Amino acid sequence: MDLPNNRFKLPFLVLCAAIFVVALAKGILVALFVPALASCLIAIGIVASGRNPRWMRSPLDRWEAKRRGNRPS
């Protein structure tokens, strides 16, 4: 069984994307923030689709599974 995404993951990723956009608008460390924003947008798409791949799992995902009454495998 796949772990569900925790409820804090999507708002956190949206906040990070907003910070990256502001940094890019100001021209701060463009070489760093362009790839960071791209990876953040990919992660937002994955979380929004309901998938939770292994590389995106966090300890809070196990807590969310217990809160929902699902037992992670």
| pLDDT, position 37 | 96
| pLDDT, position 55 | 87
Q: Could you give the CA distance from residue 3 to residue 13 in angstroms, rounded to a whole number?
A: 18
Asked if pLDDT for residue 5 goes beyond 70, the answer is yes
Tokens of 67: 């809160």
Q: Could you give the CA distance from residue 35 to residue 24 in angstroms, rounded to a whole number?
A: 11
Is the separation of the CB atoms in 40 and 13 below 8 Å?
yes
With cut-offs at 50, 70 and 90, classify the pLDDT of residue 35. Answer: very high
**How far are the Cα atoms of 42, 48, 58, 72 from residue 18, in angstroms, in the given order?**
14, 16, 22, 32
Q: What is the pTM of this model?
A: 0.81
* pLDDT top residue among 49 and 73: 49
| pLDDT, position 56 | 87
| pLDDT, position 72 | 57
What mean pLDDT do residues 58-73 have?
Answer: 79
